[in-house]
Structure 1
Amino acid sequence: MHQIPKENILAGGLGLIKEGFPFIMNRRNKFKSDIFKMSIPGFHVICFGGEDAARTFYDAEKFIRKGAVPPPIQKTLTGEQAIHTKDAQEHHHRKAMFMSLLTDSNIDKLQDLVREELEKAVLVWQSIPRIVLFRESAEILSKAICRWAGVPASDEQAVHAARSFVSMVDAFGSLGSRNFRGRKARKDMEQWISRLINDVRSGKLDGDRQSALYVCAHYRDMKGNLLDLKMAAIELLNILRPTVAIAWYVTFAALALEHYPDCKPKMEQEDDQYILQFINEVRRFYPFAPFMGAIVKKDFQWHQYRFGKGSLVLLDMYGTNHDARLWDHPFTFNPDRFNHRLIRPFDFLAQGGGDPRNGHRCPGELITVQTLRTFLVFLTRDVNYQVPQQDLSYSLARMPTLPHSGFIMENVLPK
């Protein structure tokens, strides 16, 4: 049995704060090992990364999610006791609710709504000198997903919801004011959606029976019971919030167009295959999710290292997406790497690993890809714009991160 390399508590705690996304990857390089352990206040943690580590991490016989999502994240990002904390049959049963909504026709319907909101937005943008793409895309996505989900919301309510969803995501990995704003935003959103679900159940609000609002309101657990109002609201928010979070990817995609201008003509020529390659490279290259946590279900060995029952384990998602054994020149932005490259379930971890139908990979991944395609077609084929001088740098120490300016665009005009 091999001894797992160990990082000392000071270097571990401070390193995570100072380094952020590449923290686990940097320690794997330091120890020349795909695995190490460390202590941080309140936790003894095993960290590992790479394709085989991901394959192991998503093995339901070895890991569970219950107890792995820290309370501060549940109280801001995911919601308490949401699907992210479920395992085995309970997880499969609840996930089936989400998958029932993510049909090809429903995803197409959402893209139609996103395009409608983009077309309305550009009529406003052409009359003002500049816009901030991150803020505008979050509001567009909020309006579209509320309409798609059957959530009755005025434009003003959808804009308020967008700001709340951004605060909830921005609270990830934070303390202090960011965390406080995220908690308040979640509380406000849970109360709003709970009232709507109550109205659906009482018959006061008559909506589309195929809508996400109706499905979440009437979902029954494995015992045949309706979810309580708060939990039903939490799961509906786990459809709305991640869709608005695509604004992070939209902003990084625009940044890539600016930094790598040779990519743009290929998308202007209606090369849909290249657009998909570009989208996958944006999702691989830019920082979105640093790591994922799980709890060891029972003792097991991995590469002659012991994983003890109850241990908290973090999978290095950012580092796996930048692993030189999987990706040639991993810190070079190159959409052509996805030309005819087969993406395996555990080598590309933009939104988790494994099978989204029955595992813990994000079920909304296809929505992310299609929504990015909608925005990129719009940016490259439908409008002209200028990018003024601004601070487009971003900090890997901040989780989540974003170009400091939010990506300012000037003189946005329809072609």
Structure 2
Amino acid sequence: MKRYPNQNLASLNAAAAAYHLFNDGFTFIMNRRRLMNTDVFTIDVPGLKVICIGGEEAAGIFYDPDKFVRKGAIPIPIQKTLTGLDAIHTTDAQQHSHRKALFMSFMTEDQVARLQRLIRHELDVASNSWINRDRIVLFEESGIILCEAICAWAGVPLALNDSPLRAKQFISMVDAFGTMGARHFKGVKARKQVESWITELIEKVRSGQVHVDPNSPLYHCAHYRDLDGMELSAKLAAIELINLLRPTVAIAWYITFAATALFTNDSYKAQFISGAEAYQENFINEVRRFFPFAPFMGAKVRESFVWNGVEFSKGNLVLLDMYGTNHDDRLWDNPFAFIPERFGGRQLKPYDFLAQGGGYPETGHRCPGELITIETLKTVLQFLASEIEFSIPKQDMSYPFSRMPTRPRDGFIMEKIKRTQQ
């Protein structure tokens, strides 16, 4: 894509941007970039300059902490549903690094392996009930399995038969991020309920009413001290613990997409069952690249600078095209085809593959739970492919790009489930 000089800067007015965003959804920025033949364009919102960017170079700029900050960039409606108010996503510099270290301390190989054992156990338990049911919806069942496993892993006690409700609440929080309608209000309600539950638990841990493993994420979040040496408020500690639980349950979206790809292509399934870890990882990376999960990310300009002939003024809101960068034909051959083999031998760079953010998870704003996502997909897909047999009835596997987040409409229905004969 050629670059526009500043005097020809492409732009949209607010009404046109709203119309295209509503209709295009995930592909909004990508489509406008292609039509305007540029990596950067502006949206003229009264009182606010919004700049949309995409591509590998743009991602490198976007994740430069000297140029951008996250504070004030995440809309309050999204904080009230998806992330929580004043969560790590809104922090910068030393405060972000200090709090990020808390999350990264849970992402060791041993901890991730422990979570996979718990997920495998929950898959065994769940599949024993599936064989007695006419059909199950994988998206819904995955949410419950992941909720059970991540709560056990984090040291969060669940009341008997409580996991379907809690899973539904976590799912509602994620499902609300791309709307201001009924889904939004459902997500707000769910977040209030979950925050109340976890805040009360944090308070009981601090008072000694609930005793937990001192190595557990629950204990560490309850007693975490920020840069000033003070404990977070019980509510903010709860919000950060939820930011471990909720994203793990959200892997249900990836599982549903992955199952749609794996079990509608016999070649993919055969290669996955063969157990070659390299192929499994390539397949999972292609799921994360190909399917729509995160449309774009936002940040605000820290200090004014010029890039690509465009002035980025302090305070400007900038949106990075995540979906479009993952489908940029300068980075990916035949980007709209699902080709797991494309990752074979490919050396991934920090800003060309934005499945869960760009840069480095240890220091930047890339998702710290990326390894959990990859290993969880391996665990679940290997189980579905090798441990059970099932039929796939006629169903709607399409997913609307205008809906954020999106998934196969029927959630991947499975019938006539039985355990594989060993």
TM-score by length of 2: 0.97
Does residue 49 (structure 1) correspond to residue 54 (structure 2)? The answer is yes
**Alignment partner of 1:313 out of 295, 313, 318:** 318
- After superposition, where does 1:213-292 map in structure 2 within 5 Å? 213-292=218-297
Task: Give the secondary structure class of the aligned counterpart of 1:275.
Answer: helix
Q: How far apart are residue 89 of structure 1 and its match?
A: 0.1
* Residues 204-213 or 259-268, more deviating: 259-268
Does residue 96 (structure 1) correspond to residue 101 (structure 2)? The answer is yes
Decide whether the 8 Å contact of 1:12 with 1:40 is kept in 2. Answer: no
Per-residue Cα deviation, 1:241-292 (whole angstroms, up to 9, x for no partner): 0000000000000000133331110111111111100000000000000000
Q: Distance in 1 between matches of 2:105 and 2:275?
A: 31
Task: Give the secondary structure class of the aligned counterpart of 2:6.
Answer: coil
Decide whether the 8 Å contact of 1:68 with 1:293 is kept in 2. Answer: yes
Q: How far apart are residue 43 of structure 1 and its match?
A: 4.1
Q: In structure 2, what is the equivalent of residue 408 of structure 1?
A: 413
- After superposition, where does 1:147-166 map in structure 2 within 5 Å? 147-166=152-171
Q: In structure 1, what is the equivalent of residue 17 of structure 2?
A: 12
Q: In structure 2, what is the equivalent of residue 346 of structure 1?
A: 351
Q: In structure 1, what is the equivalent of residue 367 of structure 2?
A: 362
Task: Give the secondary structure class of the aligned counterpart of 2:297.
Answer: strand
Per-residue Cα deviation, 1:371-406 (whole angstroms, up to 9, x for no partner): 000011111111111100011111000000011101
Q: In structure 1, what is the equivalent of residue 38 of structure 2?
A: 33
Q: Distance in 2 between matches of 1:39 and 1:188?
A: 38
Unaligned runs of 5+ in 2: none
Unaligned runs of 5+ in 1: none
Partner letter of residue 81 of structure 1? D
Q: In structure 2, what is the equivalent of residue 324 of structure 1?
A: 329
Does residue 2 (structure 1) correspond to residue 23 (structure 2)? The answer is no
Q: Distance in 1 between matches of 2:144 and 2:13?
A: 43
Per-residue Cα deviation, 1:195-239 (whole angstroms, up to 9, x for no partner): 110110001111011111100000001011000011000000000
**Alignment partner of 1:387 out of 387, 392, 396:** 392
Q: In structure 2, what is the equivalent of residue 199 of structure 1?
A: 204
Task: Give the secondary structure class of the aligned counterpart of 2:190.
Answer: helix
With over 3 angstroms needed to count, the CA separation of the structure-2 counterparts of 1:349 and 1:81, relative to structure 1, is: same
Q: Distance in 1 between matches of 2:275 and 2:109?
A: 22
Partner letter of residue 329 of structure 1? N
With over 3 angstroms needed to count, the CA separation of the structure-2 counterparts of 1:41 and 1:144, relative to structure 1, is: farther
Q: How far apart are residue 177 of structure 1 and its match?
A: 0.8
Q: In structure 2, what is the equivalent of residue 211 of structure 1?
A: 216
Partner letter of residue 150 of structure 1? G
Does residue 182 (structure 1) correspond to residue 187 (structure 2)? The answer is yes
Q: How far apart are residue 40 of structure 1 and its match?
A: 4.5
Partner letter of residue 158 of structure 1? S
Q: How far apart are residue 159 of structure 1 and its match?
A: 1.7
Q: How far apart are residue 306 of structure 1 and its match?
A: 1.0
Q: In structure 2, what is the equivalent of residue 76 of structure 1?
A: 81
Partner letter of residue 83 of structure 2? T
Q: Distance in 1 between matches of 2:277 and 2:97?
A: 33
Q: How far apart are residue 135 of structure 1 and its match?
A: 0.1
Task: Give the secondary structure class of the aligned counterpart of 2:161.
Answer: helix
Q: In structure 2, what is the equivalent of residue 65 of structure 1?
A: 70
* Residues 281-290 or 300-309, more deviating: 300-309
Q: Distance in 2 between matches of 1:195 and 1:364?
A: 25
Q: Distance in 2 between matches of 1:208 and 1:20?
A: 43
Q: How far apart are residue 13 of structure 1 and its match?
A: 0.9
Partner letter of residue 411 of structure 2? G
Task: Give the secondary structure class of the aligned counterpart of 1:413.
Answer: strand
With over 3 angstroms needed to count, the CA separation of the structure-2 counterparts of 1:41 and 1:162, relative to structure 1, is: farther
Partner letter of residue 132 of structure 1? V
* Residues 279-288 or 295-304, more deviating: 295-304
Q: Distance in 2 between matches of 1:90 and 1:255?
A: 40
Q: Distance in 2 between matches of 1:279 and 1:385?
A: 21
Q: Distance in 2 between matches of 1:401 and 1:290?
A: 10
Q: How far apart are residue 136 of structure 1 and its match?
A: 0.0
Decide whether the 8 Å contact of 1:143 with 1:155 is kept in 2. Answer: no
Decide whether the 8 Å contact of 1:13 with 1:40 is kept in 2. Answer: no
Decide whether the 8 Å contact of 1:75 with 1:183 is kept in 2. Answer: yes
Per-residue Cα deviation, 1:36-65 (whole angstroms, up to 9, x for no partner): 001357743100000000000000000000
Partner letter of residue 210 of structure 1? N
Partner letter of residue 339 of structure 2? N
Task: Give the secondary structure class of the aligned counterpart of 2:65.
Answer: coil
Length, aligned pairs only: 415
Q: Distance in 1 between matches of 2:402 and 2:18?
A: 13
**Alignment partner of 1:143 out of 133, 148, 151:** 148
Q: How far apart are residue 156 of structure 1 and its match?
A: 2.0
Q: How far apart are residue 155 of structure 1 and its match?
A: 4.5
Q: How far apart are residue 301 of structure 1 and its match?
A: 1.1
Q: How far apart are residue 303 of structure 1 and its match?
A: 2.0
Task: Give the secondary structure class of the aligned counterpart of 2:16.
Answer: helix
Partner letter of residue 224 of structure 2? Y
Moved over 2 A (4+): 39-44, 258-261
Q: How far apart are residue 165 of structure 1 and its match?
A: 0.5
TM-score by length of 1: 0.99
Partner letter of residue 40 of structure 2? I
With over 3 angstroms needed to count, the CA separation of the structure-2 counterparts of 1:351 and 1:101, relative to structure 1, is: same
Q: Distance in 2 between matches of 1:271 and 1:287?
A: 26
